[in-house]
Amino acid sequence: MNSTNPTNSMVITFIGTGCGVPSKQRSSPSILLSLDQENLLFDSGPGSLRELLKAGYTYNEIDYIFYTHFHVDHISDLAPFIFASKYPLAPRTRNISIVGPSGIEDFWKGLLSLYGEQIIPEHYSVNIMNITRFKSEGWRLKTAKLPHAKESIGYRIEKNGKVFVYSGDTEYSEELIELGKNANALILECSFPREVKGHLYPEIAAKIAQECKVKLLILTHLYPIMDKNEITSIVSKKFNGRFVVARDGMQIVI
């Protein structure tokens, strides 16, 4: 598989579509966005390093990791990622930027104090960056603070007239509606069948997609209970665009 995507389209690969509770069908949250020159990974929950390989990519092909928040199910493969990059027979040489909300530098310092030289890069550099300092090249990035953990943010990437939006974990909010406006692909978490604090459920995800007037709604971050519940009929009552429930390894081109 090509390491990037040499077209004007965006290729979205769902690396993990589950949550922190183990599931045979779904790994923990991680989404890959391939642009023409770069691979952007969003979140890296436990197991994503291996799921990435199963999806046809390696950790050495990732240029950026963007974190939505610091919950264990979203960030815990960061240390294994950097550790694997030291593999002496095929050491990483491509620089990487690790970008996240306020607190990302302290999170990294904490990992360094735990793991020491195991995660100190040798043949490349790790650029740890608060989102407020991030400057993208060749594409536009916007974020919004979203209601979940105190640091939670969602991401919007625009390039060549295409718009990708990923909520991370969240509840309904006006900021999310603004972030998702007219997206080609709006990826929303949909944790539970009904309202649970800090998360979305099918009716409310559909309402958000309708208010944002998106072309395609993709639901991810599904707890195991969601695979026993009917989702499509609920969503189609409130949202009249295209809609997909994500699966691990699924690829969508926009």
Candidates 71-79, 110-118, 157-165, 207-215; binding stretch for Zn ion (CB under 5 A) = 71-79
In the list 73, 77, 171, 248, the residue contacting Zn ion (rule: CB under 5 A) is 73
Q: How far is the CB of 153 from Zn ion (least distance, A)?
A: 12
What residue ranges in 161-241 does DSSP mark as E strands?
162-166, 185-189, 216-220
Is 106 considered catalytic here? no
Helix (H) or strand (E) holding 75: helix 72-75
Cβ closer to Zn ion: 71 or 159? 71
User: Are the C-beta atoms of residues 124 and 144 closer than 8 Å to each other?
Assistant: no
Question: How many CB atoms are closer than 10 A to CB 58?
Answer: 15
Question: How many CB atoms are closer than 10 A to CB 210?
Answer: 15
Q: How far is the CB of 169 from Zn ion (least distance, A)?
A: 4
Q: What whole-number distance in Å separates Cα of residue 86 and Cα of residue 106?
A: 22
Burial label, 207 (beta-carbon count in 10 A; 0-12, 13-18, 19+): middle
92 binds Zn ion (CB under 5 A): no
Q: How far is the CB of 29 from Zn ion (least distance, A)?
A: 6
Candidates 33-41, 70-78, 106-114, 236-244; binding stretch for Zn ion (CB under 5 A) = 70-78
Cβ closer to Zn ion: 75 or 217? 75
169 binds Zn ion (CB under 5 A): yes
Residues of span 99-158 touching Zn ion by CB under 5 A: none
Out of 43, 63, 73, 227, pick the active-site residue: 73
71 binds Zn ion (CB under 5 A): yes
Beta strand pairing call for 30-34 and 11-16: antiparallel
First to last CA, the chain: 18
DSSP output for 177-198: HHHHTT-SEEEEE---SS--TT
Cβ closer to Zn ion: 77 or 169? 169
Cβ closer to Zn ion: 10 or 78? 78
Q: How far is the CB of 226 from Zn ion (least distance, A)?
A: 13
> How many residues make contact with Zn ion (CB under 5 A)?
3
Q: Catalytic amino acids?
A: 73
The residues that touch Zn ion, with contacts defined as CB under 5 A, are 71, 73, 169
